[in-house]
Structure 1
C-alpha cells in the first residue's frame, strides 16, 4: 500500500495507550539507518540544508516540572532510541548505526525557559525558530525538548525538536502518541522498560554489516541483471517501452513542470521564519466533500490560494507554482518510527481562482502521482549517493530546491491528550527548508488542524503578510463547506 502523506495509514494512533506502550520499544528499533536516513545524516549542511524538524505543542497550563521531567525520564527508558546516539561505520560507505549513549544527560536534552513579555505567539515563534536553527550535537541523541513558560493566562508550550534521520512526520505522531496520556491525572501503572536485547554495534560491526549486505545482494542483483538481459533480447521493444515509461515518470515526479516564482529567486535557506494557522478539521472535511476531493486536496488548494493572493499583492499573476509533496510508503507491517517516504514534484495549479475547480484538478494530480512508476526512484539513487563523497550526496539531496513550496499533511491524534497533567490544545509542526522558499506542514489534533509554516527569510521579508494570505486561502476553501 502506497499512501499519500495526510491520508489515513495502517497505523491507528487512536488505539489505547496501554496497547501503544506495549510496542513502545519497537519505535525506531532498527540497528542502523536506512539509505534515506544515511543520506539526510551525511548530506546535512547548516543552515541552508538542515534536517531538523520540530513540533510546537500548546498547553492549557504549565505542567509541574518534577512530574514533567519524570515523564521524560520514563519515556527515555521505555523507548531505547531516545537514549541512543549515532555510531559511524568504519567504512565511509557503510550506513551509520545506533548505540546507547553511556553519557546520556536528561538535563541536556530537556530544558525549561520563559519567553519575554508579553509572551504572545510572536515571542513564542521567535524562540522556536531560533531553537530549531541550532544544529544538533551529533555526538548525542538527536532530540531536544523545551518547556516554554511565561505565556498569557498561565499557559505554556512544549517544543520537541528531532533530527529527520530519526523519523518522518508519521513517525513523529507515533512518538508523541507514546509520550502523551489520555487523562490529566498521573498514570500509576505505566509499563517499565524492558532490558535491551543484544550488544550495541561497533564501527567494525557496522562495516561488516555493510559488506555482508552487499554480498547478500549480489546474487539478487545478478539475477535481475540476467533477467533484464534476457528480456531485452527476447522482447527488445517491450524493454525499450518500459524504460521510456520509467524515464517519463521520473521527469514528471522529479522535475517540476512549472517555472519558479521570481519572488523566491536567490533564496539561501539561512534564515528560518515561523508562522502558524489553524482551522477545524470538520470544516476542512466539509469543504473537501463539497468539491469531491480529499482533506489533503483541500489543504493543498488552500495553500495555493494563499500563494496566489500573496503574488497578486506583489503585482504578479502566475498560472502554476512548482511544488514537492512527501508521499508515505509505509506498509501495514512496518515498525513504528524510522523514515518511509518519497518526494513527488508537481506543478501546483495556483492560477485557478475557483477553489472547487482547484481541488478537482489537484485530485487528479494526486491520484496520478500515486501510480507513477518512478515515485520511489530516490530509493534507488540514495544507495548510490551514499557511496560517493558527502558533498555529492548533499547536492543530490537538494533536488527539491527547484520547487518553491513543500507541503506535508500528517493525521494526528483524534482524541484529547495530556502531558504531565497539562492539556494539549494545539499541535503546530515545522519541517526543514529542503531548498524551498516555504515549507508548510499540517497535523490534526483533537479535531483541530494546526498548520506550521517555515519560510525562507532571505527572500520573504514580509512573512506576516504571507501567513495572512495563507489564511485568506484557507477561508476561500472553507467557504465551500458553508
Structure 2
C-alpha cells in the first residue's frame, strides 16, 4: 500500500527542484581490505528485504501543490544500488576523497529508491573503501545508523549472511498489495475528500474548494499571502537566519564540493566537555566557530557574528527509528571580540534553549513543513536558497557505534561523515565511532576557497579548546 511522506520528508523532496538544495547524506568508510563481493551482495539483499525504505521509491509531484507517496519499486535492481570501482594505480587518499565527494553529489535517479553505495579497491596499502549516500527523506543520521544494523557486524565478524532472493521478495510484496487493495476497495463505504490531506499538504484545503476560492477575490489574495508567508516561515526554519547577511568573504556559492576531514580521540572531546560542564556537541560547535574565525583572521576580515545552523534531534522515546526526527536550528554565534570560553558558555545555553523549544513544538514544525510541501516548489526553494546563502556554517553531530564495526568481513578503520551543504558555505559533521571522532568538512570551494587552510584552522580551533585533532 502507498505510504505518504511525512511533512518534513515531503518538504525535502520538493526543495530539490533546485539541485543546490540537495539533502543527500553521505559517508566514506576506509576498510582494512576490500570486502568480499558475495558477502556484500548477501548483506544488502538481506537489508533490502528487512528495511522497507530501501525498496521504496517516491511517486508524486515534486513541483508542489500535491502530495508524494512511498511506493514499492516493482523493478528493483540491487546492481544499480551497489556498485564497484577500482581506483587507478598509485591512487592517494586525496583521490579517494575527490571520488567520494563527486559521487555523493551526483543526483539520484528519482525513479528508484534513494540510496546507493560504491565499493572501492586500489587504495594505498591494499585497503578498501565504501562510499554510501542516502537521501535525507529516507532517514536522518540516527535513523541511518539504525538501518546499518542490517548491513554491518558489530563488535566482531559474524557468519556470512545468507542472500535473499530480491525478485521473490518483491513478487510477494506485489501480491500482498493486490490483496490489500481489493480488501480496501470492498470496505470503502464513503466518499473520499482529496482536499483534506493530513499535514496541510494541499493548500486549497486551507481555504475551501476551488469554486469558492475563485468566487472570492479577497480569499484569493489571502491564500496567496498565506502561501508566501508559509514559505518564508519554512525558509527561516530550514536553514535561514532572517536578515543576517553572512560572511562577506564567503558570499559566493556553486555546486562544486570538496571533502576534508580530521580525526580526534573521543576521550579528549569528552574531557574538554566535562571540565567545562557542557556537552560534547557544545565543544564541537565551539571549535568549528573558532576554525571559522581563524580562517577569517588569515584574510584580515573581522566577523562580529557567525551565521550558523545546528541540527537538533526532535526524536522522542518510542519514535520509529527509521523516520526523520530533526530540524536545523538557526543560531548566530558570537564572532570576533568574544573570548573562547564565553563562546562555549553561550553555545551551551543557546543550543539547550533551542532543543527544548523545538521538541516542545515538533507538531507545529511538521505542520509548517507540510504546508511548504504543498506550495509550488520553485517558490519554497527560491526563498530557502536565499536564506541558505546567508549561512556561513552548518554543523551536525551524529553519535556512532561505540565498538568496532565490520562490513563484508572487513574492519571499518575510519568512518568519515559527509553532511549536506544545501546552499550554505560548508557543512561540518562529527561522527563518533569506536574510540575516535571523525569530523567531515563538506565545503563549497566558491565560498571557502582555501579548503586545506580551513582544515588547518579547524584543527587549531579544536586546539584552542585543549583537543588535539589529527590530519590524515
TM-score range, shorter chain: 0.7 to 0.9
**Which residue, 136, 142, 150 being the options, matches 1:170?**
142
Deviations 1:347-378 (A, max 9, x none): 11232664333222211111222234796564
1:467 is the counterpart of 2:455: yes
Q: What's the counterpart of residue 20 of structure 1? A: none
Which residue of 316, 319, 328 corresponds with 2:313? Answer: 328
Match of residue 267 from structure 1: 253
Structure 2 CA distance for partners of 1:453 and 1:137, relative to 1, 3 Å? same
Q: 1:409 maps to which residue?
A: 397
The separation in 1 between residues aligned to 2:14 and 2:114, in whole angstroms, is 14
Structure 2 CA distance, aligned partners of 1:136 and 1:348? 34
1:292 to 274, 277, 284: 277
User: Which of residues 339, 346, 360 in structure 2 aligns to 1:361?
Assistant: 346
Alignment of structure 1 residues 8-407 onto 2, 5 Å: 31-88=3-60, 93-182=65-154, 183-187=156-160, 196=173, 199=177, 211=195, 213-214=197-198, 255=241, 259-268=245-254, 270-351=255-336, 354-372=339-357, 376=362, 378-398=365-385, 399-407=387-395
User: For 2:411, which of 423, 430, 447 is the aligned residue?
Assistant: 423
Measured against aligned partners, the alpha-carbon deviations of 1:195-249 in whole angstroms (never above 9, x if no partner) come to 65952899x99x968546359999xx99xxxxxxxxxxxxxxxxxxxxxxxx9xx
Cα separation, 1, equivalents of 2:438 and 2:333: 22
TM-score, normalised on structure 1?
Answer: 0.79
TM-score normalised to structure 2 length:
0.80
> Alpha carbons of 1:82 and 1:212: their partners in 2 closer, same or farther (altered >3 Å)?
same
> Contact 1:55/1:427 (CA < 8 Å) preserved in 2?
yes
Q: Tell me, which stretches of 5 or more residues in structure 2 are unaligned? A: 186-190, 208-232
Please report how far the alpha carbon of residue 188 of structure 1 lies from its aligned counterpart in structure 2 after TM superposition.
5.5
Residue by residue, what CA displacement relative to the aligned partner does 1:67-92 show, whole Å, maximum 9, x if unpaired? Answer: 21221122111212212211227996
Q: What is the CA-CA distance between 1:291 and the residue it aligns to?
A: 1.7
Aligned length: 422
Distance in 1 separating the partners of 2:258 and 2:111? 27
Equivalent pair of 1:439/1:455 in contact (CA under 8 Å)? yes
> Is there any run of 5+ residues in structure 1 with no aligned partner, and where?
1-28, 223-246
The 1:209–1:108 alpha-carbon spacing in structure 2 relative to 1, beyond 3 Å, is farther
Asked if the contact 1:427/1:445 (under 8 Å) is kept, the reply is yes
Matched residues in 2 for 1:103 and 1:179: separation? 22
Change (3 A) 1:437 1:366: same
Supply the distance in 1 between the matched residues of 2:437 and 2:377 (Cα, whole angstroms): 37
Return the offset for 1:387: 2.3
1:478 aligned counterpart, secondary structure? coil
* Cα distance, 1:37 vs structure 2: 0.9
Q: CA RMSD in A?
A: 3.5
- TM-fit CA distance, 1:60: 1.2
**Structure 1 residue 256: Cα displacement:** 5.5
Contact 1:115 1:127 in 2 (8 A): no
Greater Cα shift, 43-52 or 309-318: 43-52
The 1:445–1:177 alpha-carbon spacing in structure 2 relative to 1, beyond 3 Å, is farther
Distance 1:159-1:457 versus aligned 2 partners, 3 A rule: same
